[in-house]
Chain A
């Protein structure tokens, strides 16, 4: 758990982050969104003390982050950034081993970890371990960057626009991978982005920042249904609201008993995907199957529309 307690950062008389308090639950993905200059990156960088707060405190599992030296704190917290920041003079394996080596893990453990992470990120260790970063594609570099951040098994992973430099197709894949990895390691992730689609796709909770303050902090549907102020509403986008609501719920929650014809829809798809499927196939309803392939009911256009409607 990360407790951010009235944290403030001032540069001379400019306040970049203004008394922000929030609690990040363990094993969740929290996304901080905001326009550039909103203070979101500074807030993130105060968690691992790359930026020292002017006032306020941050506690990790109850421990004040100022109670240990900055470099030791940063070895415990994973950090991945836009443009990956891989060390160009070190191989992929050496890059991933950075923090474990700083922590002086025995060599066998480091090697095993590197291999595990490479396999997990679908990079064949035999092929990639000894390559240099400039020999990789953008998507591969980004994966190695995240693997490096996770190498010392941190409980917390901070990510600053990690997918910003990727093209849309690779970005979507990277986001899926991140969610899978997050489930696998049960890492607490705090991610900064200015991309609302990305935020809604990844977040368990979203914090909206503007001018150094957190305007609203809550689960995505809450932001759509009850935006705290016009800025949040604008950021979400008026036209996008129904689709955002559909995007953050799965078919399972809107399935009703009954039958329907045609291709079945998997219950772990999002409602947005289900709507797209119904519209595209010209149906008013479709059968729903569970992950194991059993028929569990049907999903109807009416149910979808109800889910997308403004709360009364």
Chain B
């Protein structure tokens, strides 16, 4: 390998590893970073978020995003499978519009509308994230399922697979990398969007940012924002690696 390739492969990996280490260190022992953040706050204000454990809030934030993404994945993939079957083809335009509405409808508005229905807390946030996350997964699954190599599909049918067997043994395995690509996008959007859930009392990292804004505490805003940012970068990269591995395994790369 040439030095340039070595650099282009290893420098990003090292930086990511470093980011992960710093993030974990900060979550497990925020106090050790106090001196770094102290200059950002007024003399008597706390530099580290003090209304709850950052680790717990981060885990809850991740949980919310995870649950919403799982639900969005199940529904979006099922919907995409349905509309790519012969009997479901006529629902394609309808489901496309529905999913598009989910994406264009602002999450804040979803929160405002769902609070009266389901109350404050995690639920309205889950609904908003779920709707917001549908589109990338749906569109990617749709693209994958409709662009499978023709000779392969022809061979699957010609060798006597039933439509269910074709779906499970050929179509889905070959589509998986692209579906994961959609999930990856959805997760990253969800990680950032989840912060607004704290406006309706969901336990997310938005809480830290909002607390900082309310008490004019730049350190709070910064740590809330940076944790979300670091999570997004790390998870995006990790899912990217999963996607590449799946593509290799599917013999597509």
| Residues of chain A at the chain B interface (Cβ within 8 Å) | 48, 50, 71-76, 79, 81-89, 98-99, 102, 132-134, 145, 148-149, 158
Contacts and interface: CB of A to CB of B under 8 A. Distances in A.
B13 interface: no
Contact of A71 (B149, B153, B160, B170): B160
Interface in B153-179: 153-162, 165, 170, 173-174
Which of the listed residues B159, B165, B250 has the most CB atoms from chain A within 10 Å of its own CB?
Answer: B159
B178 to A, nearest CB: 13
Contact of B173 (A71, A89, A98, A133): A89
Interface of B: 149, 151-162, 165, 170, 173-174, 249-252
5 contacts: A48-B158, A73-B160, A79-B155, A88-B252, A132-B251
A86 B170 CA distance: 11
A99 B169 CA distance: 13
A87 B156 contact: yes
Contact of B155 (A71, A81, A89, A134): A81
Given A71-B162, A89-B174, A102-B160, 12 more contacts: A50-B157, A72-B160, A74-B158, A76-B160, A81-B155, A85-B152, A85-B158, A89-B173, A89-B249, A102-B159, A133-B251, A134-B251
Nearest to A69: B162
A177 B160 CA distance: 25
Contacts of B156: 85, 87
Contacts of A149: 159
A71 B159 CA distance: 8
Given A71-B162, A81-B151, A83-B151, A88 B174 contact: yes
Nearest to A75: B160
A288 B107 CA distance: 88
B160 A86 contact: no
B154 to A, nearest CB: 6
Contacts of B249: 89
